[in-house]
Structure 1
Amino acid sequence: MSDSTKPPESERQGENRQEQRRREPVFNLPGVVTALIGLCIGVHLVRAFLLTRQEDLLVIVRFAFWPLRYTGGLPLDLYAFVSPFTYAFLHGGVAHLAVNMIWLAAFGSPLANRLGPLRFLGLWAATAFAAVFLHFLLHPYDAVPLVGASGAVSGMMGAAARFAFRIDRSADRPGFHGPVLPLWAVLRSRMTMVFLTVWFVVNLVVGLASGSAGTPEIAWQAHIGGFLVGFFGIGLFDPPRSA
């Protein structure tokens, strides 16, 4: 005698797939995000444990972003052209590195799953460059090096806001879904507007308070440069959607 209460095979398979998704590790990062995090951590470990102080200083001189390099009458060598991108892989300490990598994993993963690795790297490069470009416009004679992935990560936050942080969690690789929202729709999203307000206020307060009482100075204007390009430019990197 057959059991009439037994679910059909297709339903059992669907339940098994859902159970498998629930058992997947929380940090199931896209390969391109894992590679960027690994590169940033690897660079920091090499600087911390394998290089002498003089060698590490040479790395900063060559690969960090120095506004004075372009306005101080110095020759524009190869490092002048690569440092607007390589600075993003250098960090001032473990805390600086950890905060950037956590936010990179959080915002970069759904973005990379939507864009794909090449478009995602293009967005990373564009926002990293935009960050130092705005910093340069505001501080063209600054002799302090700029390091860190904060500008690129801020760009990913700006891009995420154009999707109102909507993530398709039913997909095998959860990513932002739906079209890139027009500005009027973003302005009507309460959650997105709260995020934008808090983000700008925190960056302004922390940035203006930094550099005092022996604390390191935070290039908060660079964060805004990256954020704005991510927010307004994400449509240039978003792959075409089938109708």
Structure 2
Amino acid sequence: MSVIRNWKEVIPYIGHDFAIIWPIFRSVGWPDRTPDDAPLQGMAGFTVHRMQGNQAGDYHDHEDQEQVYYFIKGSGQMKLDGEIIDVEEGDSVHIPAKVMHQFINNSDDWCEHVLVTGGTINMPYSGTTPSAFKRNWKDIVPYVRHDTAIIWGLFMGAGREGVDPQSAVMRGMDGFTVHRMQGRLTGEYHSHEDQEQVYYFIKGSGQMKLDGEIRDVREGDAVYVPPKVKHQLINNTEDWCEHLLVTANVDES
């Protein structure tokens, strides 16, 4: 069953010392969560984070899970296995399992990002652990798919053929992309046999057709689409609509 939640409807908590965290979606079976709160089958978590200026989170890693940060507003720095890099709006950072990382807001303003945690990685890395990797959507050549969606492929599943090899780094997710659709257009009505997806709307509004039902969507909405559910984005406005789209494989067994 599809679920739509807006971050403004979710009660936040404080984590990693100074991050205000809105847990939009958790994985199935998460303690004390309803099925709408915890529908994820392939991913482990989909959250929105905000941090006030001049603060820093804790320095930590995850033993068997990768994460992707996508910066929506503001700027700051990330410490990645001892190296400090600058991050800004539009940047996406892939952090493999076992890589130490920390977010630092070295500005006077708030910084907001989406943080997605992939499913548990059961196969150990061969050789050395991969390094974290930063990409900005503005550095990527887009393509058009699902009839009308302009897509920037930030990160794809490891081994994916026909994509930029630099982007094919994920092992706990299969796709992390930025989508834009101009006003008055409608995407393809389709489904995925063994993949779940989360749409997160960054700018604009529109509608989604979910197994025949039309639902309104707006900035701040996250839409969970399970495997086999037919879905379609409809931009019934005069303005651009922008969203993240995260895809993960689901093991039906």
TMscore range, shorter length: under 0.3
TM-score scaled by length of structure 2: 0.25
TM-score scaled by length of structure 1: 0.26
Give the structure with the higher percent strand. 2
Larger Rg: 1
Higher relative contact order (CA 8 A, sep 6+): 1
